[in-house]
Amino acid sequence: MKKTLAVVTSLFIFLGVVPSFANQVNTNPNDIAKTNKSRLLINLQEAHNKGYTGKDQVIVIIDDGVVLSNPVFTNRVIDGYCSSSVVCGEYYKKSGIEAGAAHKQPGFTFIPGHGTLVASIAAGNSVGSFPGGIAPDAKIISINNNNGNHQGILLALDWILSVKNKYNIAAVNASFGFSPGGDRNRTDYCPIVSDIDQRLRELKNSNIPFVAAAGNNGGYTTVHYPACNTDTISVGALDENGKIETYSDISKEISVVAPAQVLGASAENNGFVIGAGTSSAAPVVAGSIAILKQVKPNITFDEIKKALMSSQVWVDDLVYTNLPMLNLKGSIDAVLSGKYSTKTVQKSSTQIVSTSLTYELEKLKNDLSTLKTELVALKSENDNKQSMVNSLTNQLGELKKSNTELVIQQNILNAELVSEKKKNADILKKVKIICSSKSRSALCRSLGL
């Protein structure tokens, strides 16, 4: 079934954290802790300690561009291209670092930030509390395909193929895709998109892996296109503890699962934000491939895929088992020795499914417990607020009562004042009568009456 991508580039990302800024220390220890656990999970520091940092490698990011002003990209981006007729403007179909920057869509004031996050996770500089990318010595080529859809992807892939001999491209990262739809249990669910499939095969034959995010719909047996294309490296998402995230799409086409809870750069004020979703897991793998290519510069696509699947760590999902988890130690050892040890991803047994369901149930229970705790805290907060409202209401009642008493006293005083004025008027009237006689007028005048 031949299909055309009418709507593609649905960016796979969940961002719910306010960014910290580059000129400040990241004050969210939870984000730093998650990032450190994720990096430890894949044995990243061990690879870095051996000098494997992606040196002399280039990672291409097809996304919505990068915010070049963020210091994580200083001396990091070496070229770019703009393939979106929607946002590129004067840069459309042009190359250069500025062409691959983040451009605002007409009518919108916000700066796109998805590509900024993704690129920094793969190969960003270390800045402040941000530890840097997975391959901190690799270079970046940014392709802005924001709302570029099918035609934009074709332009991007053709441009990459045109410069593949100019740059030492380790991997192409694609944190986007579209749902194939259809029967979720079909084995041939992945659509045939001939023109894009052809370019993906050319990249594979050039030993340039196309790293594709699986998607965030929580599918048990399908992943998005192009991740379902077997000429790609398809990536599912783990949490920082090595458990498959419930939102991650999973299928037999998954090449590797990787942690998504890692810090990356934000488009806002040159800050940082914690990533999530298969969008963040994919650049973790792209950066890792840059490391593997440093280990063995002439490594082939098939060797890279086998190395990622030879991690010696496998995890199980609700439906599939033997899903390889990214583990750079096992992958590097496989590359150096030339001995690859892979397992076939296959349907889980009833026991594994039962165990997975139990795990999911426990996660739901934990989530429910957390919600109950939050509910208790909210109830306590509401009770305190209600107590304050009651107190203020009582004070208002007392003030109203005092005001009423003051009004009564004022009315009494007003009445007394009127009475006194009347008395004074009567006295004055009598004085005038008394002083009106001739015999007393002189006396009254002398008295000032």
Annotated domain spans of the chain: 20-347
Angle at 185 (CA atoms; ends 182, 189), nearest 5 degrees: 50
C-alpha to C-alpha distance for 366 and 243, rounded to whole angstroms: 15
C-alpha to C-alpha distance for 90 and 354, rounded to whole angstroms: 56
**CA-wise closest residue to 245 among 236, 254, 253:** 236
Average pLDDT over residues 41-66: 96
Separation of first and last alpha carbons in the chain: 119
Helices (H) and strands (E) in the chain, counts: 10, 14
Strands 210-213 and 233-238, how do they pair? parallel
Provide the pLDDT for residue 317.
81
Most confident of 6-20, 159-173, 256-270, 346-360: 159-173
Residue type, 410: Q
Q: Which residues contact 14 (CB under 8 A, 6 or more apart)?
A: 216, 247, 276, 277
> How many CB atoms sit inside 10 A of residue 441's CB?
13
Letter string b/e over residues 96-117, b meaning 16 or more CB atoms within 10 A of that residue's CB:
ebbbbbbbeeeeeeebbbbbbb
Least confident of 197-211, 316-330, 331-345, 432-446: 432-446
Average pLDDT over residues 172-198: 78
The token duo for 266 is 């934000």
**Tokens 């590097």 -> residue:** 332
Average pLDDT over residues 100-115: 85
Average pLDDT over residues 398-418: 85
Most confident of 24-38, 124-138, 288-302: 288-302
CATH number, span 20-347: 3.40.50.200
Q: Give the number of C-alpha atoms closer than 13 A to the C-alpha of residue 448, restricted to the C-beta side.
A: 0
Evaluate if residue 357 carries a pLDDT over 70: no
C-alpha to C-alpha distance for 146 and 142, rounded to whole angstroms: 12
C-alpha to C-alpha distance for 77 and 73, rounded to whole angstroms: 6
Q: Determine contact, residues 33/224, Cβ cutoff 8 Å.
A: no
Angle at 116 (CA atoms; ends 110, 117), nearest 5 degrees: 110
Provide the pLDDT for residue 10.
46
Least confident of 10-19, 29-38, 41-50: 10-19
Evaluate if residue 245 carries a pLDDT over 90: yes
Distances (CA, A) of 345 to 229, 258, 325: 16, 16, 12
Most confident of 100-114, 221-235, 348-362: 221-235
Average pLDDT over residues 31-39: 92
The token duo for 83 is 């393939």
Distances (CA, A) of 109 to 12, 105, 368: 21, 8, 38
The token duo for 90 is 């004067």
Phi and psi angles of residue 324, each rounded to the nearest 5 degrees, phi first: -70, 130
- Collapsing DSSP to helix, strand or coil, 204 comes out as helix
C-alpha to C-alpha distance for 141 and 100, rounded to whole angstroms: 8
Provide the pLDDT for residue 19.
42
Q: Helices 194-205 and 149-163, interaxial angle, to 10°?
A: 20
The token duo for 396 is 């208002």
Q: Determine contact, residues 249/219, Cβ cutoff 8 Å.
A: yes
Evaluate if residue 137 carries a pLDDT over 90: yes
- Collapsing DSSP to helix, strand or coil, 296 comes out as coil
Q: Say what percent of the chain tops pLDDT 90.
A: 53
Is the bond preceding 226 in cis, omega lying within 30 degrees of 0? yes
Evaluate if residue 125 carries a pLDDT over 60: yes
Q: What is the mean pLDDT of the chain?
A: 86
Provide the pLDDT for residue 180.
65
Average pLDDT over residues 418-433: 80
Please classify residue 185 by burial: count the beta carbons closer than 10 Å to its beta carbon, then call 0-12 exposed, 13-18 middle and 19+ buried. exposed
Provide the pLDDT for residue 34.
92
Beta-strand runs (E) in 269-426:
271-274, 314-315, 320-321, 323-324, 346-347
**CA-wise closest residue to 62 among 107, 4, 9:** 9
Answering whether pTM is above 0.85, one says no
